[in-house]
Amino acid sequence: MSRALRRHPLVSKPPAKGPQFRPGGARPVKKEAATAAAAESGKKRSLLSRFVPRDIFAELKKVTWPTREETVRLTAVVLVVSITIGLLLGGVDLGFNWLVDNTLLRQ
């Protein structure tokens, strides 16, 4: 046996667990979810929450929103890049127009 194998003994993985439920049977109903749903049904819901699923609100609470400074800075970057690319493409277009007018359309 080499020294490397003696220094680093083999690590065995624990046995994999089986599925928590049997596919043939019905899934158990969580009591907390059932009572929360019953309590929610009794509350008045706003017009927006009637048409938008609750999952969307839950995900929007997890979002890390940018600060005002980040928003202003990134908006400025987008505007500068857009104007630069627009000017570049406009220049290329003018160049091709000049080329076509002076070579192909000359009579």
Residues 19-45: tens digit of each pLDDT: 565 556 666 666 665 555 555 555 666
Q: 78: helix, coil or strand?
A: helix
Is the pTM higher than 0.85? no
- CB atoms closer than 10 angstroms to residue 37: 9
For residue range 38-88, list pLDDT tens digits in order.
Answer: 555 556 666 666 777 788 888 888 989 899 999 999 999 999 999 999 999
> Given this model, what pLDDT does residue 98 score?
94
Exposure string for 68-103, b = 16+ CB within 10 A, e = fewer:
eeeeeeeeeeeeeeeeeeeeeeeeeeeeeeeeeeee
pLDDT > 70? residue 102 = yes
> Given this model, what pLDDT does residue 59 score?
87
Our measurement of the distance from residue 48's CA atom to the centroid of its chain's CA atoms, rounded to an integer in Å, reads: 23
Token digits of residue 8: 């680093």
As a whole number of angstroms, the distance between CA 39 and CA 42 comes to 5
Looking at residue 25, its amino acid is G
